[in-house]
Amino acid sequence: MNAAFKNMITSINGQNYYAESVGLSESVSIEYFSAMGTKNYSAFPTSKPEGSIDIDFYITTGEELNVIESGYAVTGFSSIQIGPFFTDQALLSSFSVNSDATSIVRGSLSYSYYGQIQSGEVPDQSGASIIPAHGAASSGSLQDFGVSRTLNFDYSFDQSYDVKYSLGSVSPTRVSLVEATRSLSIDHLISDVDYEKTNLTGSSGLCYDNSGEGFVKRSGYIDLNNLCQHNIGKLEITGYIQARSFSVEPGGEVVQTLQIEEKYVRETGCYE
């Protein structure tokens, strides 16, 4: 096999991704043993092969985001191909996106897969030309959190599973969602924020307030666009303000940072 960077086309459930870098690793646990009266030892695997796939990619279409989000808080396997390597037993572990007004918007993906990676034909080179999302053209719709403009953002989704094997099975027979969390961290100038609305408990305090001013869920999103002003997609969140902080440098304006978190109910895509 002779494979190079230009041949390492990446796809998830049939959707192509324009990767900046990819990483793939797998391992198996081994137990060594030696019987009395012998001077040699033997070994056997004590677990099925498992591995991880890490992908850093340019965000170019909403379909890329839709395929990733279809793996939020679900236990169905995804199919991934990276060049000649492929697996159909992958579970999304994490997804993150961060950017500011001066940079291309990139995404980072991490999948866990079960069973040894397979290999096939080396794909042909791709001649695709892409226009990725850019922070200079993107914006935030975060008024519900009291923010009118943002300097940068850090969006992430993380989840974990309990994977079980039955006797005689080489593939997982039971997958249960343990925990799933979506979070958004945003920096903004204090002049671009409704300070009272960003109180951790809302202006009405700890109690729930039907007017939306107390400790209630709030919704917002980051709108991703490319420099041609074409909309690519949204990174949405509905959650609670969990933390905020303030910083300032000599001669500068105070910058506030908000941390927003959203939890998922086990085994479903519904919200707690």
pLDDT in tens, the chain (272 residues): 444 455 567 999 999 999 989 988 998 888 888 877 777 778 877 778 889 999 999 999 999 999 999 999 988 899 999 988 999 999 999 999 999 999 999 999 999 999 888 988 766 666 667 899 999 999 999 998 889 999 999 999 999 999 888 877 777 888 889 999 999 999 999 888 887 777 777 666 566 656 556 677 889 999 999 999 999 999 999 999 899 899 998 888 899 999 999 998 765 444 44
What CA–CA distances, in Å, run from 201 to 208, 241, 261? 9, 8, 14
Nearest to 189 by CA among 144, 246, 105, 134: 246
Phi then psi for residue 141, to 5 deg, are -105, 85
Q: Provide Rg for the chain, Cα atoms.
A: 23
Instruction: Please give the Cα distance from 150 to 191 (Å, whole number).
Output: 11
| pLDDT tens track for 203-245 | 665 666 565 566 778 899 999 999 999 999 999 999 998 998 9
pTM above 0.95, yes or no: no
| Token duo for residue 254 | 């105070």
